[in-house]
Amino acid sequence: MSKNLLIIDDEELIVKNLSMILEDLADKIFTARDGQEGINVLLQNKENIHCIICDINMPRMNGVDVIKKARKEKINIPFIFYTAHGNHELMMEAVKYGAFDFIDKPNMEGLEEIISRGLSEGFELKNKREKNPEEYISEYQKILKKIK
């Protein structure tokens, strides 16, 4: 099974640069230009995406709304937020829904390592769920139960 990444960002240049930088880490890279498009891509490919790198401030649907919607749909893969506008309130909200990590734009330092860890964890989560679906409850699902 391959490790696949979804990049969600409203800045076309960021999407292109991240795709080029990360092409050796992921077998396939899906892209979306805003949160709503990102959710659509995710729902259509949820079994094939292992990690998401997402901006927080975007038109139509921000990154926090994307992670909330994903968790509501029981999509429990790592979310890495790559943002220049990560205000504290939005970041804390993202943490409640199991954000994997945060990286400040345009910083690229450590990006590949964090994405690699996110892809590996997402891949492992899917494998565990496939092997023991009745026994597997993700950490994200536990967090969601506490929030409700």
Residue 129: the pLDDT is 62
The pLDDT, as a whole number, for residue 133 is: 47
Packing angle, helices 12-22 and 111-131, rounded to 10:
70
**Would you state the structure tokens that stand for residue 70, as one six-digit string?**
């994903």
> What is the DSSP code (8-state) at residue 27?
S
Q: Could you tell me the two tokens for 35?
A: 């949160």
Domains of the chain, residue spans:
4-147
Q: What is the pLDDT of residues 134-147, one digit of tens each?
A: 444 455 555 555 65
69-88 tens-digit pLDDT: 999 998 989 999 988 766 67
C-alpha 20/C-alpha 69 separation (Å) is: 28
pTM for the full predicted model: 0.84
Q: Which fold has domain 4-147?
A: Rossmann fold (3.40.50)
The confidence score (pLDDT) of residue 37 equals 96
CB 136 within 8 A of CB 116: no
Task: Please name every residue paired with 80 in a beta bridge, in sequence order, or none if there are none.
Answer: 53, 101
Residue 64's pLDDT is 93
Q: What pLDDT is stored for residue 136 in this prediction?
A: 44
Taking CA 63 as the corner, what is the angle to CA 47 and CA 13, rounded to the nearest 5 degrees?
Answer: 90
Torsion angles phi and psi, residue 7, rounded to 5 = -105, 125
Q: Which residues does the chain have with pLDDT short of 70?
A: 1, 85-87, 128-148
